[in-house]
């Protein structure tokens, strides 16, 4: 978490505050904090505060959009979406559109999947495994031509930390965000929906969030989310430059030091913090364990699904048959340092050599 977010969450927990729906002074204080937080999150998304509906995170925001619109018509999504979009689409009997070998949604296949029955098209702004960024304007043009009544939703959970959403997500009617991807606390997110594109509520009860999502709001979470969003907004261009430089150096040097390594997505289509490599002749599981022992928190696929050790639906959708190869994802964040990159460069080539040597010894025996 960013220090500003930690401090902001602490300030809320340390001050007496009531339920933001109440009438007394402590409740009004909570309500003021919540509404100020809404303004900061809206500013991050380049939208109006009234469009921000706080949720428990990205998963709930995705489900609110997809399952909500499934009540109104057919839902269509891309094959590499996070399961928070894929599973509700599947449950609703929706359509899943193929992606190309570089992970980008196939616009011809999208056009074929659209008709007047479609209520929502959901295409993520950036993929959580590969970092593949979508040109949402191109997607919106296809939607406008083939299903003009449909709304466009984007899962911007990964993109929020890196891209100017005001520009990159402007074509979307609904945008999902999660605080923990941008240095805020876990357990808070938002669905930002234009007034004419609000989904029907999923959680009914006290009518909070203008009836869009009932339940007493997570005031400390929202304030922490806002503090992270403000800190990010102030430093984004410099941070993106710095992290892109570190990521490029790490990737270039790993590719020079290790034979038979490829990247899943070209850099020009990728988020600045993602390095996702395919390495021949090693087991992902052993590599991740050895990296962990070296103090490096890497993953093979996504980190936000329980039991993520299984095959990646993202790579299969891209037509990547891994055979004897494995993937490793080394994601950098706002607080990554040159020393950490050096540590990866010291550790990973030796780990790969060791695993390959062990494999060839076992094969000979
Ligand atoms: N969407 C994407 C692209 C993600 O990477 C994640 C996971 O982190 C989610 C949705 C789920 O968000 P959350 O963990 O806030 O529920």
**What confidence tens digit (pLDDT) does each residue in 233-275 have?**
999 999 999 999 999 999 999 999 999 999 999 999 999 999 9
**What is the rounded distance in angstroms from the CA atom of residue 149 to the CA atom of residue 197?**
11
Quick check: CB of 189 below 6 Å from ligand 1? yes
The pLDDT of residue 343 is above 80: yes
pLDDT digits (tens, 9 = 90+) for 46-71: 999 999 999 999 999 999 999 999 99
Ligand 1: nearest atom to the Cα of 128: 5
Quick check: CB of 320 below 6 Å from ligand 1? no
**What is the rounded distance in angstroms from the CA atom of residue 271 to the CA atom of residue 127?**
9
Quick check: CB of 178 below 6 Å from ligand 1? yes
Q: How confident is the model at residue 308 (pLDDT cuts 50, 70, 90)?
A: very low
Query: Ligand 1: which of 57, 189, 221, 299 to mutate, judged by most atoms within 8 Å of the beta carbon?
Result: 57
**What is the rounded distance in angstroms from the CA atom of residue 52 to the CA atom of residue 32?**
15
Strand blocks (E) in the chain: 52-55, 74-78, 95-97, 118-122, 151-155, 174-178, 189-193, 261-263, 274-280, 325-331
The alpha carbon torsion through 213, 217, 223, 226 (nearest 10 deg) reads 0
Quick check: CB of 88 below 6 Å from ligand 1? no
Quote the ligand 1 centre to 288 CA distance (angstroms). Answer: 21
The pLDDT of residue 307 is above 50: no
The pLDDT of residue 306 is above 70: no
Quote the ligand 1 centre to 326 CA distance (angstroms). Answer: 23
Percent of all residues in the chain with a pLDDT value above 90, rounded to a whole number: 89
User: Is 38 within 8 Å of 217 (Cβ atoms)?
Assistant: no
- Indicate the average pLDDT of the chain: 95
What's the maximum distance between 2 C-alpha atoms anywhere in the chain?
77
Quick check: CB of 304 below 6 Å from ligand 1? yes
Quote the ligand 1 centre to 30 CA distance (angstroms). Answer: 27
Quick check: CB of 81 below 6 Å from ligand 1? no
**What is the rounded distance in angstroms from the CA atom of residue 74 to the CA atom of residue 185?**
34
Q: How confident is the model at residue 137 (pLDDT cuts 50, 70, 90)?
A: very high
Give the residue numbers annotated as catalytic, written as ranges.
304
Quick check: CB of 123 below 6 Å from ligand 1? no
Ligand 1: nearest atom to the Cα of 59: 16
> Rounded to 5 degrees, what are φ and ψ at 360?
-75, -30
pLDDT digits (tens, 9 = 90+) for 173-189: 999 999 999 999 999 99
**Token pair recorded at residue 287:** 């590599």
Which residue is closest in CA terms to ligand 1's atom 13?
58
């Amino acid at each position: 978490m960013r220090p500003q977010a930690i401090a902001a969450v602490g300030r809320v927990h340390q001050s007496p505050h009531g339920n933001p729906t109440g009438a007394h002074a402590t409740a009004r204080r909570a309500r003021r904090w919540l509404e100020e937080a809404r303004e900061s999150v809206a500013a991050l998304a380049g939208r109006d505060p009234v469009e921000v509906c706080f949720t428990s995170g990205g998963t709930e925001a995705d489900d609110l959009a997809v399952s909500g619109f499934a009540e109104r018509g057919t839902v269509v999504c891309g094959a590499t979406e996070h399961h928070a979009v894929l599973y509700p689409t599947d449950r609703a009997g929706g359509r899943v559109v193929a992606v190309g070998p570089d992970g980008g949604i196939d616009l011809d296949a999208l056009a074929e999947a659209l008709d007047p029955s479609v209520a929502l098209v959901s295409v993520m702004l950036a993929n959580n495994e590969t970092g593949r960024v979508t040109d949402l304007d191109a997607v919106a043009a296809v939607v406008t031509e083939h299903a003009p009544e449909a709304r466009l939703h984007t899962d911007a959970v990964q993109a929020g930390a890196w891209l100017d959403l005001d520009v990159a997500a402007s074509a979307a009617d609904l945008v999902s965000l999660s605080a923990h991807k941008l240095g805020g606390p876990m357990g808070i997110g938002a669905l930002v929906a234009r007034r004419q594109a609000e989904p029907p509520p999923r959680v009914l009860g006290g009518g909070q969030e203008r009836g869009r999502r009932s339940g007493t709001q997570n005031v400390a979470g929202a304030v922490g989310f806002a503090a992270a969003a403000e800190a990010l907004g102030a430093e984004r261009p410099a941070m993106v430059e710095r992290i892109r430089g570190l990521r490029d150096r790490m990737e270039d040097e790993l590719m020079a030091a290790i034979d038979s390594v490829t990247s899943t997505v070209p850099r020009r289509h990728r988020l600045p913090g993602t390095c996702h490599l395919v390495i021949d002749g090693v087991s992902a599981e052993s590599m991740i364990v050895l990296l962990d022992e070296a103090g490096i928190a890497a993953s093979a696929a996504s980190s936000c699904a329980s039991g993520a050790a299984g095959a990646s639906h993202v790579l299969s959708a891209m037509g990547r048959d891994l055979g004897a190869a494995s993937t490793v994802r080394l994601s950098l964040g706002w607080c990554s340092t040159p020393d950490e990159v050096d540590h990866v460069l010291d550790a990973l080539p030796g780990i790969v050599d060791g695993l390959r040597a062990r494999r060839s010894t076992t094969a000979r025996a």
